[in-house]
Structure 1
Amino acid sequence: MKNIFLTISLLFFAFILRAQDFKKYDKGSFIKGKDSIYYRILFPENFNPTEKYPIVFFLHGSGERGSDNEKQLAHGGNLFLKDDVRKNFPAIVVFPQCPDNDFWANINNTKDENGKRKITFVEGGKPTKAMHALVGMVKDFLKKPFVNKEQVYVGGLSMGGMGTFELLRRKRNTFAAAISICGGDNTNNIKKYQKVPLWIFHGAKDDVVDPAFSMVIAERLKTVGDEVKFSLYPNANHNSWDSAFAEPELLPWLFSHKK
């Protein structure tokens, strides 16, 4: 009984500790015309508004959509709170939240005759409402005097990995480097971001988003792109972000790039 109580206490303490850590992410919103999007933002320790800092935009997956301005921190939020990360990579980190019933990327999400999910990516096309607001938010942040425009980065997982590719092509010449985890895109869109250094991740056993989506983009970029890295985790399913976040070179690689 004591062991059970101790386990519950430790789990509760861990939950409270994480919640307290996430409070370091300030709440914000971007509202302009018909565009509105909520986000959480982490400023560097000892932030000085007269200095310029790198900025990272991180896009969550479909399971973290909503209006609570909190769920989007579930995957990746802790990574940027680590003491060594905050010390070695002082940056502004922004986690926007996609509303329910919307999607970062412009895709067709249907089911085949067997009820299996089928994703097709749109070539070109108009942005979703969430993407339109996201583009506006990014533009707004780039006007801030404390943002280093030479070090603007984007990353995302699952739906956010798809959104990463789409944001790259809709904000060309903005990002110094990007990471996409278990995402995908229409390969005909590659030419619009082939000059952006990219690190692509996927789990070989992913049964939610086909790893072939990432494979084909990586292979195409290797022939036409400036710089691409591809990590395929043989035993990982959809949550390949756990392996990606554990890569010791992930953030050193990302922040090493400048426009």
Structure 2
Amino acid sequence: MSLPTDWDKPSPENSILCERFQYGVFDYSGTLPYRFFVPETLEKVPLVVFLHGADAYGDDNELQLSMHDIGTVFAADSWQKKHPCYVLAPQCRKGRHWSGLLEGNRICVLVKRFMEQYANIDPERIYIYGYSAGGVGCLEILKYHSEMFAGAVSICGATGFRDLSNLLKTPIWLIHAADDNIVKASYRENSVVSTHLGSRDIYAELKDKHPDLHYTEYEAGDLKEKYGINPHCSWVLAGRDGQVKEWLFSNERC
């Protein structure tokens, strides 16, 4: 994937956080590389599943965390002191997509295996979040595995109309930049009919029906003018937003 020159780059501190994640490979109708973080507690704690974007596709089991800071935010000391949790970060191989049914099933089986291995994972507090292709994957996985997840954050993601009503079953926070031209916040501008739904479109479709749906849209120019980064990189601001993270961890499955 050819990246724009104004693409977000990780901070120097991110490499330290990456080292806290162990390595694994899951074999289920093919192999799935993954990294995982284990908290220093025996109490019942949440598990967070992180899905990276297309810029980290591969099989090195590194890029999903090293590409940006967003994959490691829940492993930071400041967060772990308040909310200790496990973090699971699989890596999607090139030629595959998180939105595929096989990949979604594979992730959910991995989560179940992980819960068997670590008995102090709270089954009522399994969360999922991701950016770009990973944001798409979050929404597609929720459509068919809503029973597993207590909450989700989809950053610069999108989806289609198929089984859209299934998203009503899970608390969701959508995040997007208004001027994102890689995955658009809206595919309905100028009344153009599209089978794609950006975050703004999803919110418009579901806001009057969904019991717990939130949407944050960064104004056009904010990311480029204030931070010098591409408007698609809304995960930079999302990762710094304590309100979103606190909201995510406030959810429990009923």
**TM-score when scaled to structure 1?**
0.80
> Residue in 2 aligned with 1:5?
none
1:31 corresponds to which of 16, 27, 30? 27
> Residue in 1 aligned with 2:216?
231
Query: Residues 61-76 of structure 1 correspond to what in structure 2 (within 5 A)?
Result: 61-73=53-65, 74-75=67-68, 76=70
Unmatched segments (≥5 aa) in structure 2: 1-10, 187-197, 224-230
> Residue in 2 aligned with 1:167?
141
Unmatched segments (≥5 aa) in structure 1: 1-13, 107-126
Q: Secondary structure at the match of 2:207?
A: helix
Matching of residue 251 in structure 1 with residue 245 in structure 2:
yes
Matching of residue 221 in structure 1 with residue 206 in structure 2:
yes
Q: Which moved more, 1:135-144 or 1:78-87?
A: 135-144
**Cα distance in structure 2, aligned partners of 1:183 and 1:18:** 23
Query: Residues 1-259 of structure 1 correspond to what in structure 2 (within 5 A)?
Result: 15=12, 18-32=14-28, 34-44=29-39, 46-48=40-42, 51-73=43-65, 74-75=67-68, 76-106=70-100, 127=101, 129-144=102-117, 145-212=119-186, 213-234=198-219, 235-236=222-223, 237-259=231-253
Deviation at 1:19, TM superposition (A): 2.7
**Cα distance in structure 1, aligned partners of 2:167 and 2:24:** 29
Give deviations 1:17-64, integer Å, cap 9, x for gaps.
5433311001112113x23211111111x233xx32200001000010
**Cα distance in structure 2, aligned partners of 1:52 and 1:252:** 17
8 Å CA contact 1:187–1:216 kept in 2: the answer is no
Deviation at 1:169, TM superposition (A): 1.5
**Aligned in 2, Cα 1:57/1:78: closer, same or farther, shift over 3 Å?**
closer
**TM-score when scaled to structure 2?**
0.81
Q: Which moved more, 1:183-192 or 1:137-146?
A: 137-146
Q: Secondary structure at the match of 1:257?
A: coil
Which protein has the larger Cα radius of gyration, Structure 1 or Structure 2? Answer: 1
**Aligned in 2, Cα 1:174/1:130: closer, same or farther, shift over 3 Å?**
closer
Deviation at 1:79, TM superposition (A): 1.4
What is the letter of the counterpart of residue 132 of structure 1? N
